[in-house]
């Protein structure tokens, strides 16, 4: 199994590049094409997907990005086109969204429905939380801070109206996943806080 190819980039398009490898030109589909420069000699990590109709080669800047692509296409209903679209937002950001259960950011990505986003988070949240903790400082510098979602803001406002303190609200947010059923989330948060009064104390 070939993990990467080393060669000279002869052409870069929006969605693909052509790599001269041992005198042969290979068309490779890539995310974030601006990272690859014409005439550059470099290593490109690759993954071949073969079916009865075609063989397509996908290329990546590094091994971690390739692993995330493999994880994504392993999910039912999520093909290579959607996986590339997801990675166009930066693999560092994607694992951050997944690790933090940020459905709202994922559904902003073309071809990603709420159902797909929820499936990604459900399947890989734990794995990518560990993944995120092991990123280098350079990789972490590429992660965009996640803004508080509208759903999270509504949850906070409701909890404050009910008289809960910021420390208690933070405890709830750190220990449960917020979704658009605010009423149910608030009920669950109240139970959680009442059962863990010492940890959630002001």
| Per-domain boundaries in the chain | 4-60, 63-140, 150-195
- Which of 85, 80, 77, 42 lies closest to 62 in space, CA to CA? 42
CA of 153: how far to CAs of 62, 117, 133, 169, in Å?
36, 20, 26, 11
- Which of 72, 56, 55 lies closest to 64 in space, CA to CA? 72
What one-character DSSP code corresponds to residue 187? Answer: H
Dihedral Cα 113, 119, 122, 127, nearest 10 deg: -100
Band of pLDDT at residue 142, cut at 50, 70 and 90: confident
Query: What's the token pair of residue 197?
Result: 């009064």
Query: Taking the mean position of all CA atoms in its chain, how far away is CA 151?
Result: 19
The average confidence (pLDDT) of the chain is 90
Percentage of residues in the chain having pLDDT higher than 70? 95
Per-residue model confidence as pLDDT tens digits over 170-180: 888 888 877 77
CA of 41: how far to CAs of 10, 25, 44, 120, in Å?
9, 13, 10, 34
Whether domain 63-140 has CATH 1.10.150.20: yes
- Which of 161, 162, 173 lies closest to 200 in space, CA to CA? 173
Distance (Å, whole) CA 82 – CA 1: 24
Q: Does 97 score more than 60 pLDDT?
A: yes
pLDDT value for 198: 67
Per-residue model confidence as pLDDT tens digits over 159-173: 888 988 888 888 888
More confident residue, 154 or 189: 189
pLDDT value for 124: 96
Q: What are phi and psi of 24, to 5 degrees?
A: -115, 140
Per-residue model confidence as pLDDT tens digits over 3-21: 999 999 999 998 999 999 9
CATH superfamily of 4-60: Nucleic acid-binding proteins (2.40.50.140)
Per-residue model confidence as pLDDT tens digits over 78-93: 999 999 999 999 999 9
């Amino acid at each position: 199994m070939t993990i990467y190819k080393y060669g000279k980039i002869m052409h870069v398009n929006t969605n693909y590049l052509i790599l001269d490898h041992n005198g042969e030109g290979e068309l490779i589909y890539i995310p974030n094409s601006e990272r690859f420069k014409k005439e550059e000699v470099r290593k490109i990590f690759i993954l071949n997907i073969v079916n009865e109709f075609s063989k397509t080669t996908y290329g990546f800047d590094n091994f971690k990005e390739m692993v995330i692509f493999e994880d994504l296409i392993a999910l039912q209903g999520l093909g290579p086109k959607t996986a590339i679209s997801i990675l166009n937002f930066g693999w560092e950001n994607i694992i951050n969204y997944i690790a933090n259960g940020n459905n709202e950011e994922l559904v902003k990505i073309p071809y990603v429905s709420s159902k797909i986003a929820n499936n990604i988070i459900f399947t890989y949240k734990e794995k990518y939380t560990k993944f995120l903790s092991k990123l280098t400082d350079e990789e972490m510098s590429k992660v965009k801070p996640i803004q508080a979602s509208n759903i999270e803001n509504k949850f906070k406002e409701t909890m404050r109206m009910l008289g809960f303190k910021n420390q208690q609200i933070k405890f709830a947010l750190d220990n449960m996943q917020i979704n658009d059923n605010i009423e149910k989330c608030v009920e669950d948060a109240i139970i959680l806080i009442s059962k863990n009064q010492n940890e959630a104390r002001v």
